[in-house]
Amino acid sequence: MGEERIVALEDVSLTFEKGKIYCLLGTSGSGKSTLLNMLAGLEKPTKGSIIFMGKQLEKLNETQLALYRQRYVGFVFQSYNLLPTLTALENVTLPLTFRKVKKRERIKKAKVMLKAVGLAHRWRHKPSELSGGQQQRVSIARAFINDPQVVFADEPTGNLDTRTTFEMMDLIIGIARERQQTLVIVTHDTEIAQYADQVIRIKDGSVESILEQRATMPGEAVIDEPEPTNMNHETGTGGTENETIVYG
């Protein structure tokens, strides 16, 4: 910005394993959302690598990144991001439409997903006719409809009341666990962080600590000792200091 150099992320080296639940925890401005955007292929780093299933995302062009997100990634947003002119069913089928799935098949799959999130009876309704919790259920159904390898949830309960928050978290975690999908949650809420297998605390663009958790049920976590945050080591995937973020 002018002559001022803004560092959003620095000295970040992480590995994300398939089928685990992760939480990027930090205050506003800590860099957690920037990290999520890079993992999702929405932004590119000025230095370093982001590796998914052997491919370096920062080297892909926009068309390749769009295909990556279409095939491998699902999103749950704080503001739901539903198209207001479409019904719940039509919103959920959108990812399948882009993948050119036949209409009969995508409607069938979307109805199954809406039933799984408890909205089998509301599939004809538009977003304006649904509560905040119901809109987020539609968003969750849309995120999982493509059976993605990774689901990114950016403050997924930020607009919900406490009771609905835990209902939505139980739902997201339950689907991800059942399907053995990797889930990366961005939040500032320590209660939401309890749902994760690993909590990565971000502060001032760097990893402050990594906490391993063991939870037999959503929200019931036992926290192990934090891992050291010295990033001057290899990632174990062939990456070197400050160069590799690996997941998949």
> 86-110, pLDDT tens digit by residue?
999 999 999 999 888 999 999 999 9
Res. 25: pLDDT tops 50: yes
Nearest Cα neighbor of 196 from 51, 21, 11, 4 is 21
Write out the H or E segment, with its range, that includes residue 190. Answer: helix 190-193
Q: Per residue in 145-193, pLDDT tens?
A: 999 999 999 999 888 888 899 999 999 999 999 999 999 999 999 999 9
How far apart are alpha carbons 82 and 132 in whole angstroms?
11
User: Above 50 in pLDDT, residue 233?
Assistant: no
Contacts of 211 (CB under 8 A, 6+ apart): 198, 199, 201, 223, 224, 226, 227
Q: Does 218 have pLDDT greater than 80?
A: no
**Which of 213, 210, 176, 208 has its CA nearest to residue 197?**
213
What local confidence, expressed as pLDDT, does residue 246 receive? 47
